[in-house]
Amino acid sequence: AQSVTQLDSQVPVFEEAPVELRCNYSSSVSVYLFWYVQYPNQGLQLLLKYLSGSTLVKGINGFEAEFNKSQTSFHLRKPSVHISDTAEYFCAVRMEYGNKLVFGAGTILRVKS
């Protein structure tokens, strides 16, 4: 069965500092990978996704993620965070043949001024 591990439950960071949110998955077959963001009192919104091709994926709001097949990782990065990036971030994986997403437990990013 697939599983997704988000290694940090909370990440505090100062404004304008870089940040990396880590995600590892377990699957023996090809997968599609997603990062979603949830702002307070809202539903989830897609940040970016990896389907195939270039392993570096750029998303909205200046976020990017790198797919590493050998390490089964899909870490999310932003070079300079803003207060408005404070939210919970979810990594999700979907098998190549299937329509179910498996989500990680989430990482709360707290940006401090």
Partner 1 sequence: DVKVTQSSRYLVKRTGEKVFLECVQDMDHENMFWYRQDPGLGLRLIYFSYDVKMKEKGDIPEGYSVSREKKERFSLILESASTNQTSMYLCASSLTSARGNEQFFGPGTRLTVL
Residues forming the site for partner 1 (CB under 8 A): 4, 6, 9, 32, 34, 36, 41-46, 49, 51, 90, 92, 96, 98-101, 103-106
Nearest to 48 by CA among 72, 67, 29: 67
- Least distance in Å: CB of 107 to partner 1? 10
Contact call for residues 79 and 62 (beta carbons, < 8 A): yes
By the 10 Å C-beta count (0-12 exposed, 13-18 middle, 19+ buried), 77 is classed as: middle
**Residue closer to partner 1, measured from CB, 56 or 105:** 105
- Least distance in Å: CB of 103 to partner 1? 4
